[in-house]
């Protein structure tokens, strides 16, 4: 589920980097970002997000919108990670250009990818919600034509992985490539499902009322982490159900949850308030990196944080005054890629950034 500059637009806020202390010699790094070194901007312009590593750490896959380039809603791109400071970052679109796509991920073979797309319903970009009907809050559409597909690196779709009517998206894979975890509303709520890719058999692993999505397996295969909302009051539950019936969700109050890989022993590990989301594991499976706006009552900035599996020892690791999100540490633990509004010249652009990861 993409949640980038649209949040700020929905709130009527102006994006851009306010005056911040930069680190001499590492000009894209902000003072206090001690886990980053040698930050490099990879994209320039548009809305670029959800960049995730291939298993060998040589490529990334991401989604991009850029109306000036004729990309009116998110499409999927892959690019080779530069190995030297002088090597340019080049990328190509591998989705069909039809419909809206989201949440792409490499297969372990490095020759295939998975992503969700609405192209099976229409070649057009699906309409966005009229947020004025909902108090100009950030509302996410649950397009019922989203299904998850497997494609090769030339963009040829080789398999449709989900077929149920409704929202099927937000898929990632176990590190052995055997299981896919994803979000679906096929049973009347937004729950997590784990599918065995070889047999197609699957199991629903969440059941509490609320949005469960954006799940990841730990590299060692023992745990999963995800974001979840848990409406508690009668009014909250009523609103959640009413939005869901319209194919909508308001993901502005979420916390980070952890469970065993089969969904057992599920437990909430953050209680920070507001939106805590986009969690995934560090390369050693011992930490979780996530995004949050909990420090700011007005709902922004969004920054990235690091915690242990108990939700303790939380460290703030990014400090942009706009939007830092979708972090993923490389499989070897040496690099990090993330999306940010930094260095956007006061525009609404969200770009991809690569940095050395310092423990």
Rounded to two decimals, the pTM is 0.94
User: In terms of Cα–Cα distance, which of 265, 339, 298 is closest to 74?
Assistant: 339
* C-alpha atoms less than 13 angstroms from C-alpha of 11 in its C-beta half-sphere: 16
CA atoms in the 13 A half-sphere facing the CB of 40: 17
Instruction: Give domain 6-357's CATH number out of 2.120.10.30, 1.10.10.10, 3.40.190.10, 3.40.50.2000.
Output: 2.120.10.30
d(CA 332, CA 284): 9
Residue 15 pLDDT grade (very low, low, confident, very high; cuts 50, 70, 90): very low
In the 8-state DSSP scheme, what is residue 16?
-
Distance CA 121, CA 204 (A): 25
Instruction: Note whether 207 and 266 are within 8 A (CB).
Output: no
- pLDDT value for 136: 87
pLDDT of 20 reads 77
**pLDDT tens, position by position, 84-126:** 999 999 999 999 999 999 999 999 999 999 999 999 999 999 9
As a whole number of angstroms, the distance between CA 101 and CA 121 comes to 12
Rounded Cα–Cα distance for residues 296 and 300 (Å): 6
CB 141 within 8 A of CB 129: yes
pLDDT of residue 17: 39
Q: Are 115 and 106 in contact (CB under 8 A)?
A: no
Each domain of the chain, given as residue ranges in start order, spans 6-357
For the cut 50, the answer to whether the pLDDT of residue 11 exceeds it is no
């Amino acid at each position: 589920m993409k949640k980038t500059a649209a949040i700020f637009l929905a709130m009527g806020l102006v994006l851009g980097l306010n005056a911040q202390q930069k680190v001499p010699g590492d000009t894209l790094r902000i003072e206090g970002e001690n886990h980053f070194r040698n930050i490099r901007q990879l994209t320039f312009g548009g809305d670029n997000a959800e960049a995730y590593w291939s298993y060998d750490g040589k490529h990334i896959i991401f989604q991009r919108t850029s109306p000036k380039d004729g990309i009116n809603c998110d499409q999927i791109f892959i690019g080779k990670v530069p190995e030297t400071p002088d090597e340019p970052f080049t990328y190509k679109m591998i989705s069909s250009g039809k419909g809206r796509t989201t949440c792409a991920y490499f297969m372990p073979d490095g020759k295939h990818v998975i992503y969700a797309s609405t192209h099976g319903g229409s070649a057009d970009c699906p309409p966005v919600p009229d947020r004025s009907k909902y108090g100009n809050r950030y509302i996410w559409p649950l397009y019922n034509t989203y299904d998850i597909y497997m494609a090769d690196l030339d963009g040829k779709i080789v398999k449709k992985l989900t077929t149920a009517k409704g929202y099927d998206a937000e898929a990632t894979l176990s590190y052995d490539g055997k299981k896919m975890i994803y979000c679906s509303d096929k049973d009347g709520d937004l729950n997590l499902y784990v599918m065995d890719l070889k047999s197609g058999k699957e199991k629903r692993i969440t059941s509490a009322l609320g949005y469960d999505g954006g799940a990841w397996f730990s590299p060692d295969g023992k745990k999963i982490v995800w974001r979840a909302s848990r409406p508690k009051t009668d009014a909250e539950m009523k609103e959640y159900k009413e939005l869901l019936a319209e194919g909508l969700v308001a993901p502005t109050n979420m916390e980070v949850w952890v469970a065993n890989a089969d969904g057992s022993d599920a437990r909430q590990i953050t209680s920070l308030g507001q939106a805590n989301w986009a969690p995934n594991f560090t390369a050693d499976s011992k930490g979780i990196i996530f995004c949050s706006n909990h420090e700011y009552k007005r709902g922004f900035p969004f920054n990235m944080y690091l915690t242990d599996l108990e939700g303790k020892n939380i460290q703030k690791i990014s400090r942009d005054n706009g939007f830092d999100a979708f972090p993923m540490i490389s499989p070897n633990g040496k690099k990090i890629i993330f999306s940010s509004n930094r260095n956007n010249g006061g525009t609404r652009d969200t770009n991809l950034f690569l940095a050395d990861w310092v423990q």
